[in-house]
Structure formats: structure tokens, C-alpha cells
Amino acid sequence: GNSVTQMEGPVTLSEEAFLTINCTYTATGYPSLFWYVQYPGEGLQLLLKATKADDKGSNKGFEATYRKETTSFHLEKGSVQVSDSAVYFCALSGRTGGFKTIFGAGTRLFVKA
């Protein structure tokens, strides 16, 4: 069945550092891919998404490119801020998964001033 694997955390960075959070997936067909972010005390909210191969999703300085050849959707940001401290979830949904959204385990990011 469909699955998502993302790098374990926590990830600790200094402000203005470069961020990469790795995400790989297993799915048949052509799923849609998402990154969600959960700030402390809140529910998840969509950060960005991509619906087909080679699409790049972007929002708030974050980017991720749908790479079908490597089944990956890594999240990147060029310069993180303290306010980016949160838990990040990679997710996918596709027809072959019965339309359900499958979430990764989440990666906690701490950014130090």
C-alpha cells in the first residue's frame, strides 16, 4: 500500500541556516503530494502541494519538487527563522490509496536565534 517516510527529528538549526527535510514515498499511480506544518498548540495547516511529476510547490519561502524518478518530495528553505519552529508532515493522497491521505511521522524543527 501507499506509504510516506520522512527524516526523523528533531532538526535543530540556527537562524538563517538552510533547511532540508527529506521525504520519500511509495505509491502506485500518480499521487498528489503535500507538506503540512503544525505550530505549537495548533492543528495542521497546508504549507504547499504538488499534483504531478516535476511540479514545484512553494509557499512562505519553502519549496518542494515532485520527483517521480526518485519518489521524493523534499522540503527546503534557504534561510529559516525562529518562527519556522514547528512539526512538518509530508503526505500523499491518490486514487489507488482509496483517496485517503497518508501522513509521514512528522519532523520537528527547532530554530535557534
Among 15-23, 57-65, 67-75, 89-97, which window interacts with another protein (CB under 8 A)? 89-97
Quickly list DSSP for 15-65. TT--EEE-EEEE-SS--EEEEEEE-TTS-EEEEEEE-STT-EEEETTEEEE
Among 14-22, 38-46, 64-72, 74-82, which window interacts with another protein (CB under 8 A)? 38-46
CA 17, chain centre distance (Å): 18
Among 19-27, 37-45, 60-68, 69-77, which window interacts with another protein (CB under 8 A)? 37-45
**Contact call for residues 86 and 109 (beta carbons, < 8 A):** yes
Residue type, position 69, single letter:
E
Residue type, position 37, single letter:
V
Distance CA 86, CA 105 (A): 13
- Of 86, 93, 109, 111, the one binding another protein by CB under 8 A: 93
Is 42 an interacting residue with respect to another protein (CB under 8 A)? yes
Contact flags string 58-87 toward another protein, x per CB under 8 A: ------------------------------
Tell me which residues touch another protein (CB under 8 A): 4, 31-32, 34, 41-46, 49, 51, 89, 93-95, 99-101, 103-106
